[in-house]
Amino acid sequence: MRKRILTTLAAVSIIFATAFACGEKEKTEVAPEKGKKKVIENTLTESDMEIVRQAKKFFKVLPEIAEADYEITDELVDLGKMLYFDTRLSKSNTISCNSCHNLATFGVDNNPTSIGHKWVAGPRNSPTVLNAALHGSQFWDGRAKDVEEQAEGPILNPIEMGSPHEEFVIDRLRTIDSYSDLFASAFPGTQEPLTYKNMARAIGAFERTLITPAPFDEYLSGRSEALTENQKKGLKTFMDVGCTTCHTGSVLGGDLFQKFGLIKGPYWEYTDSEKIDEGRYEVTGKDFDKYVFKVPGLRNITHTAPYFHDGSVWSLEKAIEIMGITQLGRELTEEEIESIADFLASLTGEVPEYARTLPILPKMGKETIHPDFD
């Protein structure tokens, strides 16, 4: 099951062992090339071991794939990849999932907020899709429970992809040669394979393969040389000053909701935000959710500027400074900020080659629902 998917991921992923013994040198298997395994020694020094022991209280090595409660097959992922890159899911025929979550630029578009249907700018920054399936919820306000549910939203959002309703999308897909057969292969044994829910599941299955192991995972697994001395210092600072109150787990975030301006606020006095966003309050209507947002994961963060829910800050160092003041109630020193930023660079992985290779999309049929720009 999933044999080809996992083999492809192995071409760019590193499989790490998570255990090592104090004072002993152990071996960890990695797979830097397709079909090949290389053995590296555990090279942690005593000081490294102490840092890693502390780090393992908060962090986990990335898994190979984000597991689901359904079978992730090659056919399902291939279909999901096509749909992810297909602009024909949008009303105007011009916007795809990849437009705002560009896999060539670490799953984001590097805009404060994304441009959608009729060239309207959205209200919030588009977070990276990389490793997103490992988060506890989706969107800045957590209104979707997983990537499958998240995939249903933007297609029908009037200022994102603009399609008016589910039937519009499915009717268009039915006019495209081969999609019916591709859905039938991806969802065998179902009476009606080509449905809106199945479309979203296929996209979600593809997104579950977008995992980006990084040098930090190697360090957690026993390779001292994976991090520079300043990055190790930054990791220790990151833990010591309290960043791990929110940023934990395999993606260093993504599982909690927190008020922006927890200790010092309001947040917009520090971010110079043009709009005051009430965050999760807009979903729940509960006063204690005002200015509360999902804690973002920090994987690949050096490539996903601008930062925060509104993309109001372009500098990573500035974002760290603001976090120190608003969330921790302390002014971090320049040295602390620089070392934390250096550590965060060790969270940069590589986008799986399979994911960033454009698919050949099915051609249009003779009877097509034409683009609608209105």
Q: What is the spatial distance between Cα 306 and Cα 314, in angstroms, rounded to a whole number?
A: 4
**Cβ-proximal residues to 189 (8 Å cutoff; 6+ apart), any chain:** none
Long-range Cβ pairs for the range 234-240 (8 Å, 24+) = 234/338, 234/339, 234/340, 234/341, 234/342, 234/343, 234/344, 235/51, 235/55, 235/343, 235/346, 236/51, 236/54, 237/336, 237/339, 237/340, 237/343, 238/340, 238/343, 239/54, 239/55, 239/58
Q: Which among 152, 160, 207, 336 is annotated as catalytic?
A: 160
Phi, psi for residue 48 in degrees, rounded to 5: -60, -45
The string of DSSP letters for 50-99 reads: HHHHHHTTTB-PPPSS---SS---HHHHHHHHHHHH-GGGSTTS---HHH
Question: 160 catalytic, yes or no?
Answer: yes
| Beta-sheet strands, E only, within the chain | 27-33, 36-41, 257-259, 292-294
Structure token digits, residue 3:
């044999």
Establish how many alpha carbons lie within 13 A of residue 79's alpha carbon, considering only the half-sphere containing its beta carbon: 25
Three-class SS of 240-293: HCCHHHCCCECCCCCCCEEECCCCCCCCHHHHCCCCCCCECHHHHCCHHHCCEE
Residues with a known catalytic role: 160
